Amino acid sequence: MSRRRSRIDVQEEDTELNMTPMLDVVFILLIFFIVTTVFVKPAGIEPTKPFADEDKEWNPTILIAVNEIDEIWIADQPYEVNEIRPILQSMKDETPEATAIIIGDREASSGVIWDIQDMVQDLEIQTRVSTK
């Protein structure tokens, strides 16, 4: 007795998977990623970066804000750079363990912020400059 092969068996044997379109897609993606990659040129040296303790909680007792026209705000009052030393000294006298944070506007002069930071550090008040 001879058996006939069913159509399903014949189709399974004749089926081949054509890999050419898949390889074309892979090569096109590879070319796309190579072309769109931005290559960064190294600076030439690897500077030592400062360490930031962001995981430590920081609750400053003195908030110093600098706006875009370089006004310095402490305790809801505007001041000039040359006026804030006695105010900071009195705050330090009230709370010897005082800590400060300087919050500068994006448009504020960096020189004013540096002057404030130097003044606060001269008064031996631990300080940070906000970057957020």
Domain boundaries, the chain: 62-129
Query: For 25-78, what is each residue's pLDDT tens digit?
Result: 999 999 998 888 876 666 665 666 556 666 567 778 888 888 888 889 888 888
How far is it, in rounded angstroms, from Cα 61 to Cα 63?
Answer: 7
Strand partners, 102: 64, 129
Query: What pLDDT shows up at residue 40?
Result: 60
Architecture of the 62-129 domain: 2-Layer Sandwich (3.30)
The answer to whether residue 132 scores a pLDDT higher than 70 is no
Query: For 65-120, what is each residue's pLDDT tens digit?
Result: 888 888 898 888 888 888 889 989 988 888 888 888 888 888 888 888 899 999 99
Q: How many separate helices (H) and strands (E) can be counted in the chain? A: 4, 5
